[in-house]
Amino acid sequence: MFTIRCIVGSAAKNLALLPAFRQKIKLQNRMSSSSHPLAAVCQLTATPDKEANFSVCKQLVEEAKERGAAMVFLPEAFDYIGSSREETLSLSESLTGDTMSRYTQLARKLDVWLSLGGFHERGHDWETDRRIFNSHIIINDKGDIVSVYRKSHLFDVELPEKGVSLKESAFTIPGPSLMPPVQTPIGKVGLGICYDLRFPELSLALQRHGAEILTYPSAFTVATGAAHWEVLLRARAIETQCFVLAAAQVGQHHEKRSSYGHALAVDPWGEVLSDCGGERPGMVLVEVDLEKISRTRRNMPVQQHRRDTAFYHSLAQT
């Protein structure tokens, strides 16, 4: 398994690496005899400044492509994190707006697939109800939007002892359904977003429909991230025997909000392949060896051992 440790910088300009380190990365790429595709899993510190956020994301995507990534994963709220409900809503756009146009052009120009992990998409009745979807968008290397999954589990949580108080449903519409896994250059990718991670039914449904890679782009709070982030990601990988790729927000977005970071890549055995840390923006590059999925499922055939649905519902009848 070939991985590159997190490439970090405190701002977009710092993502340009020292020449010696660049050469080291290129040498490592040449030394890897594997033909397995590379995925780039990113983390960043989004703010209410959409232009600055796009600049950082663009540079991350360009760096990933330069290093050979076939697909780049950006976190939830890659477009912005507002400091109030009003600001969050006012900055939102439709899928035909300027932000999506810029990302489709970027994917086409660089010939790379993008996972845009949580876009503030204006709802279909925006003019009357002023609410949004939290949408995970997959763009192919031709610049086409090939899938849109709208977050189905909304983060309404009050943890006063940990300083966490968020009510996503106050302005977000829950998505109506899951989306089928998407065939990409790195494998079949099943889509979730952040809080969806806590619901194993979702990951198992995606696995049953052919997912080889699960992705949970996130903006975990510091308190919940420290307690649950890694263990949940590893659990989803172990129970589905899939790769799990989780891009993440990190650091201080504004005076009211911080995120945990630690963008992770986990293999089908539950081993953490790469961790981007909890301090600065950056990325990890990970080889996706689909044979490892087949080998893990063959050696421990959990899905074949699963009983039918009626068995698990039998308690309700007793």
β-strands 264-266, 272-275 pairing:
antiparallel
Pick from 83, 238, 94, 225: which is nearest to 157 by CA?
Answer: 225
Q: Which residues contact 96 (CB under 8 A, 6 or more apart)?
A: none
Which sequence positions are flagged as catalytic? 76, 151, 194
3-state secondary structure the chain: CCEEEEEECCCHHHHCCCHHHHHHHHHHHHHCCCCCCEEEEEEECCCCCHHHHHHHHHHHHHHHHHCCEEEEEECCCCCCCCCCHHHHHHCCECCCCHHHHHHHHHHHHHCCEEEEEEEEEECCCHHHHCCEEEEEEEECCCCCEEEEEECCCCCEEEEHHHCEEEEHHHCECCCCCCCCCEEECCEEEEECCHHHHHCHHHHHHHHHCCCCEEECCECCCHHHHHHHHHHHHHHHHHHHCCEEEECEEEEEEECCEEEECCCEEECCCCCEEEECCCCCCEEEEEECCHHHHHHHHHHCCHHHHCCCHHHHHHHHHC
CB count within 10 Å of CB 297 equals: 17
